[in-house]
Structures are given as C-alpha cells and as structure tokens.
Amino acid sequence: MQYDVVVIGSGPGGYVAAIRCAQLGLKTAVVEKYSTFGGTCLNVGCIPSKALLDSSEHFHNAAHTFQTHGINLKDLSVDLPQMIKRKNEVVAQTTGGITFLFKKNKITSYQGMGSFVDKNTIKISNEGKEETITAKNVIIATGSKPTALPFLPIDKKRIITSTEALNLPEVPKHLIVIGGGVIGLELGSVYARLGAKVTVIEFLDSIIATMDKALGRELQKTLTKIGFEFLLSHKVTGATVKGKKVSVSAETPKGETITVEGDYCIVAVGRSAYTDSLGLKNIGLKVEDRGKKITVDEHLQTSVPGVYAIGDVVRGAMLAHKAEDEGVFVAETIAGQKPHINYNLIPGVVYTWPEVASVGFTEEQLKADGKKYKTGSFPFKASGRARASMDTDGFVKVLADAETDEILGVHMIGPRAADMIMEAVTAMEFRASAEDIGRICHPHPTYTESLKEAALAATENRPIHI
C-alpha cells in the first residue's frame, strides 16, 4: 500500500502528526507496536500519573484540610485498587479517543514493529507475520523509555520504573526514589499523600534542576511537609533486594557510604530515546547521543530526505506538548506550508502540589549570559484567593529586560500554576512587557492576580498587596 505519509509511533507527537497530515489531505498511516494508541504519555505516563495525583490529592485534603473547612469525616481510608481501577478507566477512555480520531480522519493503522527496508519502504512485524507498506514521507515518533542504571538491575517488583509505580499492590511504608526530577517527584507525591515516607536520592545539589533554582528550593520545602526526605548531592552506587526490602547504597558529598532501606525503589533518572529495531542503518541515518537521538535540521528532517523525526527521539525537552507541536510542524512542512515553533516558549510543568511551572529564561541563564534584567515576585500567602483555598505556599517570579521591560521568563510554584503559566506564554509570544501584564485587569479573587502583582514588582517595584 502506498501512502503520502507513514508515522511510526502513536504517542502525542505521532498521533497529532498523523491527524494534521490527514487534515491537510495527505493519505496517512500509523504504525504502532502496542495494542493501544497514545504511547507512553497516554498509557503509562502523563495521563495515568495525573489520575493518581488527583485521587491522592483528594485523600490528602480529606485527611488534612477538610476539618478546617468544617467538613468532618469518620473512618477515612485508602482503597488503592479502586484508585488504580479509576486510573485505568481514564487511560482506556483517552486511548479510545485516539482510535475514534483516526477513524474520523480516515487514517489507516497497523499494529506491529515498524522498521526501514529503505527510506520509502516500511516493514511491519507482528507475532511472526510481516508486511510492507511504502510512503513518500516517513515521520519517526517512537518516543522514549526509562533510563536504566547499569549497576542497578530493575526487577519490576521491588526495584521499579515509573511504569510499575502506577500499579503498586499496596501503599509503601517507605518509598525510595532515585532522581529528583519531574517523574520521581510526581510519583513520590502520590504515595506520600497516601501515607508513605518518601526518600529522594539526587546526584545534583537541587531538585528539578533544569528549572529556576528558586522553584526547586521552594518545592523541596513544601514536599518535606508531606513526608519527603531529600538526600541531595548523593551518588547512588547500588541496590539489593532481600525479601520485601530494598537496600540502596549511596555516596555522600563527603565520600562516605550510606544505606537507605525501603520496601520499593523507583528508578527515575530520566528517559532515553527509543530508536531500537527501527533499522536506521538500512537508510544510513545519522544519530547522536551514543547512537540514540536522531539528528535533524531546522525542519526536523533527518539526514535522509523525506524522513523526519519528532518528540523524544530528537533534541530538546522530552515533553508531550513539545512533541505535539513538532508533529503539527512536520505535517505542515510536508504539505508545503511554513510553520514555526519557538522552543524558548515551550512551558515546563511539575504536577506536584503546589504545582510548578516555568517558561522562558531562568535567572541562572540570564546571569550566565550577562543579560541585564530586573525581577519581581509575589508570594501566594498574600493572595486572597490562595488564603481562601488554603494554598498559600509558593510564589510567582517575573524576569524582564532591564531596558525594554520585555518579559524574559516567568517562574511559578503555587496552586494551578500548570494552567496559570499559559497567560505568561501568551504574553511572551506577543513580546509583551511586564508593564503590559501589570496593566491588564485580572478578575478578583483569582490566583492569576499573583502574576499581575509579580509583573508590577518587576516593572516599577510597585506591587499593590505586599
């Protein structure tokens, strides 16, 4: 069968690319090795983790804040199997939605492992059966998988990845998390809210290290309140399992060896591009990053004409929404349009509580670049809306150019930061100044007033409510 475009992989990048190609009149097919669409994000990543985060947040509030609100409960308990059942239902509904969209847009789907025979021919292998299809253009969207540590074997029972952490049979008494990044902190939050002690062992000297340092410091303080312990600047050297216990050894900043014992250990040290079994050598494709990441040009085309790559398999942040934008970008490029992506304005979010969100340059980056800037911040404890909802941890920080007042970066930790960051993204997309945000009328009382106040602080150091 001949297609205009074949997409290998149906995660956020792949399925969005396929839908946009079909919308543009291109005959499109998708090759997916699993039985459901949606890739890591919909099946074992973004969507199921948010379902568990929401469930655990409800329990945590019932246990710790409802009484203050005048709501009294008796015999509060966690039904973990029901939480996981609800999570699975959310996943099924979401992946089923992709099936519907493929049918609606007349996209042909193939189940199996897709690999290159040549640049226009894709072999699909599934349980011993093989077939081939041809395409004028191919989009590689195979995503990523959890990074393993060579000295720390994952048994998927006690030493686990984020995938297994979504289906634990019990709430751990003590959960060890290796890695202080987004994945580890989100999954650690789920179980800390349900009563687990959580110990995070991080090699670097801060958590969420790629974000503005002030965010990491504030998040560490708030997570400590719900049962987190942080061992920063610690190098994990090994782990052993004995019965129902995991012992993790680590080297302290002083070179001493310590052992942390728990009943489960999540290895969350990042993700690696998944390009295995694609047959890239058959088309002479250039790769980087120890042979994993695929090299692309400014149009996301590989070194082989007509072969494109998007999402986690190429350079840049491993984010579902970045992959989606790249999927649309490539589809429109193939159709002869001239799309655009501003990579500096792709927001990052951590779905802990309080939520963390960031866009643009961090303060550390501006200092390193020698950029003259001004800063303004506003704490949520001064927000009437935050006081009403008992969500007073955190702040909003606005960074603006010292001369032009153009917003260079916005960093926030607080209630609904994941949604609030989009006001900053929109403003920065139109190159707004901090004064522009400060002069926009924000509804009262809302969390977004904190962004206005931070912008006023950056503009003339004139916030109203502090």
* 144 belongs to an annotated ligand binding site: yes
| Strand ranges for 79-227 from DSSP E | 108-111, 113-118, 121-126, 129-140, 144-146, 159-160, 174-178, 197-201
Helical spans, DSSP H, in 369-465: 384-389, 417-429, 434-439, 449-460
Residue 185 marked in a binding site? yes
414 assigned to a ligand binding site = no
Tokens of 344: 């500096």
Does the annotation flag 183 for ligand binding?
Answer: yes
Calculate the CA 371 to chain-centre distance.
28
Check the annotation: does 231 bind a ligand: no
Does residue 444 have an active-site annotation?
Answer: yes
Strand 235-242 with 228-231, pairing: unpaired
Answer for the pair 171, 80: CB distance below 8 angstroms, yes or no: yes
Q: Is 438 annotated as a binding residue?
A: no
Determine whether the annotation assigns residue 16 to a binding site: no
179 annotated ligand-binding residue:
yes
Q: Which of 174, 411, 444, 465 is catalytic?
A: 444
Residue 186 among known ligand-binding residues: yes
Cβ atoms < 10 Å from Cβ of 372? 8
Q: Are 287 and 296 a contacting pair, CB within 8 Å?
A: no
The residue to which tokens 């987190």 are assigned: 228
423 annotated binding-site participant: no
Tell me the two tokens of residue 433: 């100044």
Could you write out the DSSP letters of every residue in 220-278?
HHHHHTTTEEEETT-EEEEEEEETTEEEEEEE-TTS-EEEEEESEEEE-S-EEE--TTS
Q: Are 19 and 101 contacting, i.e. CB atoms less than 8 angstroms apart?
A: yes
180 is in an annotated binding site: yes
The answer to the question of whether 360 is labelled as a binding residue is no
Find the Cα–Cα–Cα–Cα dihedral 441, 446, 452, 453, rounded to 10°.
120
* Beta-strand pair 348-350/355-360: antiparallel
Separation between Cα atoms, residue 137 and residue 335, nearest integer Å: 11
- Is 298 annotated as a binding-site member? no
Please tell me whether 202 is known to bind a ligand.
Answer: yes
E strand or H helix at 411:
strand 407-414
197 labelled ligand-binding: no
Rounded to an integer, what distance in angstroms lies between the CA atom of residue 402 and that of residue 105? 49
Q: 30 near 18, Cβ under 8 Å?
A: yes
182 is in an annotated binding site: yes
Q: Encode 178-201 in three state secondary structure.
A: ECCCHHHHHHHHHHHHCCCEEEEE
Residues of the binding site for FAD: 50, 114, 142-144, 312, 318-321
What are the catalytic residues? Answer: 444
Residues of the binding site for NAD(+): 179-186, 202, 270
Residues of the binding site: 50, 114, 142-144, 179-186, 202, 270, 312, 318-321
